[in-house]
Amino acid sequence: MTNLVRKGNGKPLRDAMARKDMSALKLAAATKKADVRGKGIGPTTAYKLTGVAGVGVDICRLRTAWLVATVLDEPLQELFDMPTVSTDTVERCQPHGDADPR
């Protein structure tokens, strides 16, 4: 599952919320309306995601980030750092000790 990291300790998120006059509770409620499944994110997740150091969490699921960005009408990349390429998913082009040397 892809995880994203919030930028600037959540400051861009809090700034976007201030522009929309939203609290974490209002943000959570708005994500339920934006979610086609009607689930959205919970108030606790919203508080943690938008919280400051010591209270906030930096990592969230892509789906959570997408719902938040949609509600705040902000580009995802303005609020969260995009994941880098993982070497776990890149195929090896050279055998590493498993080829018969004969």
pLDDT in tens, 11-34: 999 999 999 999 999 999 999 999
| E-only strand ranges, the chain | 3-6, 59-61, 80-81
pTM of the model: 0.77
Say how far apart CA 24 and CA 6 lie, in whole Å: 15
Least trusted range by pLDDT, from 37-41, 48-52, 54-58, 97-101 = 97-101
